[in-house]
Amino acid sequence: MKLGIIGLPQSGKTTIFNALTGGDQPTNASAGRIEVHTAVVDVPDPRVDTLSGMFNPRKTIYAKVTYADIAGLDGSAGKSGISGTLLNQLAQMDGFIHVVRCFDDENVPHAAGSVDPARDIAAMDGELLLNDLIAVERKLERLQDERRKGGTDKTLNERQTALFERLHEILSTETPLREVEFTSDEEKNLSGFGLLTRKPLLVLLNLGEGQAAPEIKLAHPCPVVDLQGKLEMEIAQLPPEDAQMFMEEYGIEEPGLNKMIRLSYDLLNLQSFFTVGEDEVRAWTVRRGASAHEAAGAIHTDLQKGFIRAEVVSYEDLTSLGGMSEARAKGKLRLEGKQYVVQDGDIVHIRFNL
Ligand SMILES: Nc1nc2c(ncn2[C@@H]2O[C@H](COP(=O)(O)OP(=O)(O)OP(=O)(O)O)[C@@H](O)[C@H]2O)c(=O)[nH]1
Ligand SMILES: [Mg+2]
């Protein structure tokens, strides 16, 4: 799962990326250049820590999300849309984190001359909308060409034309496609088309030190999270002991970053289930609503192929009872079939036979 960190130039994308990775990519003007840095980040999860404490495994593995710092969107895509290379990068993402500058700093000029988060959110929304509108118009032209030339599947062409005309209508009213429900057949037609406003979006308000988050009325509701980007980056770059001291000094209980990582996991409609044992305690990622059969596949295709049953206990039951055998004795260890819908926090053991 990949999230693209996007935002206007100098909004703090690389700062946030460094905060996520503890890295030190240079944060200076990359204006106009298309730059992409990618990092795989652990999803902080106190449940994994608790399970690890219970089972004392050789390895503890957290769920992961990939973040990409994508510079190059500057609100000037204009009539021709976002350039090919950049669009390619954006289209590969499963969702976006839009970094919005709220911090004041006279040493960091704002391209638009002033700090105005609401304006910047609207500008980015507009850029993504416009780009989709252009992509849809191009597709409609191609479909029209096909009809004129003939020789292609006529019903398919008609169906696609109807769908893309509908998209055109929606986008023309400045509505992002993520707000629209599609049938699974339409979804299939649209996958591989990389429309940007179909992807889930999280707004990240990048605050200055000690700054309170501004109230912003969004034209298109989406999850919003705020953090002090530069401060978080500085914390992330410290050795862990120093970071702890630093946070205590500033009265920070948990880095705002952790919240953002968890929110981005939610944004992508994902959940975790766990496997436990002496060898390893591990969080696995599946979409919400996934079956036990899919969960088995997330671990290994062999487990999916040879699936017999899933042994399942909830995180709450396992931790309150204190162990697997206690859970079994109390009848809390359930045997579930392929169709069982996995719940966030389930501890799962797949029985299989190949
Ligand atoms: N005071 C203050 N400065 C910040 C904050 N976040 C970022 N900056 C500064 O703003 C400048 C731009 O930050 P970057 O993280 O490079 O922004 P960016 O969005 O990656 O910029 P481009 O890649 O050029 O588009 C740097 O000088 C940062 O030090 C913040 O929270 N407070
Ligand atoms: Mg940058």
Residue 348 forms part of a structural domain: yes
Nearest-atom number in ligand 1 for the CA of 107 is 27
With 90 as the cut, is the pLDDT of residue 49 above it? yes
Residue 282 forms part of a structural domain: no
Least confident interval from 33-37, 264-268, 302-306, 329-333: 33-37
Identify the band that residue 303 occupies on the pLDDT scale cut at 50, 70 and 90. very high
pLDDT at position 328, please? 94
Instruction: Give the chain's domain count.
Output: 1
Which of 5, 6, 8, 10 maximizes ligand 1 atoms within 8 Å of its Cβ, making it the mutation to test the pocket? 10
pLDDT at position 80, please? 75
* Residue whose pair of structure tokens reads 């709220």 in the numeric block: 102
With 70 as the cut, is the pLDDT of residue 147 above it? yes
pLDDT at position 29, please? 60
Average pLDDT over residues 256-268: 87
pLDDT at position 177, please? 96
Point out the ligand nearest to the CA of residue 74: 1
Percent of the chain exceeding pLDDT 70 equals 97
22 alpha carbon to ligand 2 midpoint, in Å?
15
Residue 345 forms part of a structural domain: yes
Identify the band that residue 255 occupies on the pLDDT scale cut at 50, 70 and 90. confident
Residue 263 forms part of a structural domain: no
Ligand 1 contact via 17 beta carbon (within 6 Å): no
Kindly compute the dihedral angle of the four CA atoms of residues 254, 203, 1, 233, in this order, to the nearest 10 degrees: -40
Most confident among 14-28, 57-71, 181-195 (mean pLDDT): 57-71
Q: What value does the CA radius of gyration of the chain take, rounded to a whole number of Å?
A: 23
Average pLDDT over residues 138-152: 91
* pTM tops 0.95: no
DSSP bridge pairs for 285: 272
Nearest to 227 by CA among 203, 249, 204: 204
* Angstrom distance (rounded) from CA 180 to CA 353: 43
Nearest-atom number in ligand 1 for the CA of 28 is 16
Ligand 1 contact via 229 beta carbon (within 6 Å): yes
Nearest to 117 by CA among 225, 11, 231, 197: 11
Ligand 1 contact via 29 beta carbon (within 6 Å): yes
The CATH code of the domain that includes 341 is 3.10.20.30
Residue 326 forms part of a structural domain: yes
With 80 as the cut, is the pLDDT of residue 30 above it? no
Ligand 1 contact via 18 beta carbon (within 6 Å): no
Identify the band that residue 5 occupies on the pLDDT scale cut at 50, 70 and 90. very high
Average pLDDT over residues 189-201: 91
pLDDT at position 73, please? 86
With 90 as the cut, is the pLDDT of residue 332 above it? yes
Residue 89 forms part of a structural domain: no
With 90 as the cut, is the pLDDT of residue 33 above it? no
pLDDT at position 189, please? 87
Residue 20 forms part of a structural domain: no
50 alpha carbon to ligand 1 midpoint, in Å?
36
pLDDT at position 114, please? 93
What domain range is 334 assigned to?
289-352
pLDDT at position 31, please? 60
Q: Who contacts 115 (Cβ-Cβ below 8 Å, separation ≥6)?
A: 101, 102, 103, 104
Residue 135 forms part of a structural domain: no
Mean of the per-residue pLDDT values of the chain? 92
Ligand 1 contact via 228 beta carbon (within 6 Å): yes
pLDDT at position 32, please? 62
